[in-house]
């Protein structure tokens, strides 16, 4: 169900207070969205599509067996909740021990962590989202404490989750209230560490009205520290259709990179396909989910997080059918397809990117050594070897591998040294 939103006029008015303070901050740094481009066509050996790909885990899943499974699937990141309610069970009494242990295990398994500071509190907000100065101050104090306790383990901090959805920002979405909270938390965390990496709470779908109030604030915050714009672009069509949505809301540059007009990069902090949704099924989930990180890499996104590792509940509810694995760790077709594709993605550094333009109706990402090429519907004949796992229609990826790829990138205008 689509959330109820405030009007564009009211959203802009609510943002003026935030913008007045944010624009007064000195421009301490210029956010360089091109810093990951390497003109030589080579990249560090550790850099690959997988190093920019994560998987969503519940905080209760940070156990050694699960983390080993995450590493076996090749993911470089995990994303998990840092729940205000659970981590501050009583006023000014914090309980980080269990979560710290799980996050430390993740880091020891070679994983980076995107931690979500999220949700209301029964004692401070009655489980609603923060609505006033007192509630925002309490949440910010919690965020500061989380940063002090977990800062050595968390690589990036996402401030809230889907604030444009009434389920996650009750009683109803309010872009002004959210941007006030985001600005206050950002200022607090950057006081503790000016190098902290933040992400605005990923929006449910590509919500033009909410973005109109959020983007100016995020761009102002980017003058103070490193921040990304979070999106959760769920859809019932192939992942490549995201391009049209990004272009519609002004989040796609001429060079195909997903950023705001002011250069703040888009982070795809949650995205997946659920088997139980109409038009998806096991086969659609297998093919479309595996291409999500490739789409993210082709759009120059710093991090793409898949939802999710395990099913979250009864299979009669579509929202619980998004996992790569069942609750008993049995792989669905998507898990098998991803296992096959990740072997190729692990060898591909996202140095060069190509999204459909003109007569070239294909996507491509890679380096002079290797490239992955695909289309959204398989309609165009492409070079290279198909990536398959010999399991029939239940293991389709629609992706082809080209190696070496020097001639491929030269034809597209990139220089291979």
pLDDT in tens, 200-219: 999 999 999 999 999 999 99
**Which helix (H) or strand (E) covers residue 287, if one does?**
helix 281-298
Cα radius of gyration rounded to whole Å, the chain? 21
Mean pLDDT of the chain: 89
Same domain, 380 and 338: no
Peptide linkage before 404 cis (omega within 30 of 0): yes
Please check whether residue 3 lies inside any domain of the structure.
no
Q: pLDDT tens-digit profile of 235-262?
A: 999 999 999 999 999 999 999 999 999 9
Q: Assign 378 a pLDDT band (cuts: 50, 70, 90).
A: low
Please check whether residue 416 lies inside any domain of the structure.
no
Determine how β-strand 385-386 pairs with β-strand 399-402: antiparallel
Q: What pLDDT score does 35 carry?
A: 31
- Residue 20: CB partners within 8 Å, gap ≥ 6? none
Same domain, 35 and 168: yes
**Which helix (H) or strand (E) covers residue 352, if one does?**
strand 352-354
Please check whether residue 355 lies inside any domain of the structure.
no
Q: pLDDT tens-digit profile of 391-405?
A: 544 566 889 999 999
- Which of 348, 381, 397 terminates a domain? The answer is 348
Same domain, 314 and 370: no
Q: What pLDDT score does 291 carry?
A: 96
Q: pLDDT tens-digit profile of 322-335?
A: 999 999 999 999 99
Same domain, 22 and 86: yes
> Is the pLDDT assigned to residue 377 strictly greater than 80?
no
DSSP for 197-245? EEEEPPEES--HHHHHHHHHHHHHHTTTSEEEEEEE---SS-GGGHHHH
Please check whether residue 330 lies inside any domain of the structure.
yes
Same domain, 239 and 307: yes
Beta bridge partners of 364: 354, 373
Same domain, 303 and 215: yes
Q: Assign 383 a pLDDT band (cuts: 50, 70, 90).
A: confident
Q: pLDDT tens-digit profile of 35-90?
A: 333 333 344 445 899 999 999 999 999 999 999 999 999 999 999 999 999 999 99
Domain count, the chain: 2
Question: Which two tokens mark 119?
Answer: 């949700």
Please check whether residue 378 lies inside any domain of the structure.
yes
Q: pLDDT tens-digit profile of 98-143?
A: 999 999 999 999 999 999 999 999 999 999 999 999 999 999 999 9
Same domain, 315 and 404: no
> Is the pLDDT assigned to residue 21 strictly greater than 90?
no
Average pLDDT over residues 371-382: 84
What count of other Cβ atoms lies within 10 Å of the Cβ of residue 93? Answer: 7
Q: What pLDDT score does 208 carry?
A: 98
Q: What pLDDT score does 39 carry?
A: 32
- Which of 324, 348, 372 terminates a domain? The answer is 348
> Containing domain of residue 91, as a range?
8-348
Of the listed ranges 63-67, 266-270, 412-416, the one predicted with least confidence: 412-416
What sign does the dihedral 234-255-26-12 (CA atoms) show?
Answer: negative
Same domain, 262 and 323: yes
Residue 383 to residue 353: CA distance in whole angstroms? 16
Average pLDDT over residues 264-286: 96
Same domain, 149 and 250: yes
Report for 13-22, 26-35, 52-61: range of highest mean pLDDT? 52-61
Q: What pLDDT score does 358 carry?
A: 74
- Which of 307, 324, 348 terminates a domain? The answer is 348
Of the listed ranges 13-17, 31-35, 181-185, the one predicted with least confidence: 31-35
Please check whether residue 223 lies inside any domain of the structure.
yes
Q: Assign 314 a pLDDT band (cuts: 50, 70, 90).
A: very high
- What's 66's domain CATH number? 3.20.20.80
Same domain, 283 and 398: no
Residue 233 to residue 219: CA distance in whole angstroms? 20
Q: Assign 417 a pLDDT band (cuts: 50, 70, 90).
A: confident
> Is the pLDDT assigned to residue 3 strictly greater than 80?
no
Q: What pLDDT score does 396 carry?
A: 66
With a pLDDT cut of 70, the percent of the chain lying above it is 87
Same domain, 318 and 395: no
Please check whether residue 356 lies inside any domain of the structure.
no
Q: Answer yes or no: are the C-beta atoms of 234 and 162 closer than 8 Å.
A: no
In 3D space, the residue among 16, 77, 66 whose CA is nearest the CA of residue 293 turns out to be 77
Same domain, 221 and 87: yes
Average pLDDT over residues 283-287: 93
Beta bridge partners of 7: none
Please check whether residue 357 lies inside any domain of the structure.
no
């Amino acid at each position: 169900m689509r959330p109820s939103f405030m009007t564009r006029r009211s959203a802009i008015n609510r943002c003026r207070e935030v913008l007045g303070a944010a624009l007064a901050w000195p421009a301490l740094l210029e956010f360089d969205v091109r810093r990951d481009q390497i003109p030589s066509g080579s990249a560090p050996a550790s850099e690959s599509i997988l190093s920019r790909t994560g998987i969503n885990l519940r905080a209760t899943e940070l156990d050694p067996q699960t983390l080993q499974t995450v590493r076996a699937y090749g993911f470089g990141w995990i994303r998990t909740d840092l729940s205000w309610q659970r981590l501050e069970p009583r006023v000014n009494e914090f309980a980080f021990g269990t979560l710290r242990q799980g996050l430390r295990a993740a880091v020891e398994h070679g994983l980076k962590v995107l931690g979500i500071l999220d949700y209301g509190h029964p004692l401070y907000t009655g489980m609603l989202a923060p609505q006033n100065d007192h509630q925002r101050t309490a949440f910010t104090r919690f965020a500061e404490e989380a940063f002090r306790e977990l800062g050595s383990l968390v690589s990036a901090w996402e401030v809230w989750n889907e604030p444009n959805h009434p389920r996650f920002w009750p009683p109803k979405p309010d872009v002004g209230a959210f941007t006030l909270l985001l600005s206050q938390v950002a200022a607090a965390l950057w006081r503790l560490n000016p190098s902290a990496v933040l992400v605005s709470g990923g929006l449910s779908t590509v919500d033009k009205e909410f973005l109109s109030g959020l983007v100016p604030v995020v761009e102002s915050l980017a003058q103070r520290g490193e921040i990304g714009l979070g999106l959760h672009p769920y859809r019932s069509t192939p992942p490549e259709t995201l391009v049209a949505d990004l272009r519609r809301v002004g989040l796609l540059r001429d060079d195909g990179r997903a950023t705001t007009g002011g250069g703040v990069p888009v982070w795809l902090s949650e995205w997946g396909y659920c088997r139980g949704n109409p038009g998806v099924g096991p086969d659609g989930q297998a093919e479309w989910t595996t291409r999500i990180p490739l789409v993210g890499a082709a759009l120059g996104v710093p991090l793409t997080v898949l939802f999710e590792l395990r099913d979250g509940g009864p299979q009669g509810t579509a929202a619980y059918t998004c996992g790569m694995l069942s609750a008993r760790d049995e792989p669905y077709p998507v898990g098998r397809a991803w296992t096959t594709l990740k072997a190729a993605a692990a060898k591909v550094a996202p140095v060069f990117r190509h999204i459909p333009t003109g007569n070239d109706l294909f996507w491509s990402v890679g380096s002079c050594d290797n490239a992955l090429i695909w289309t959204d519907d398989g309609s165009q004949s492409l070079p290279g070897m198909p990536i398959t796992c010999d399991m029939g229609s239940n293991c389709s990826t629609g992706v082809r591998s080209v190696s070496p790829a020097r001639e491929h990138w030269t034809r597209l205008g990139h220089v291979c040294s």
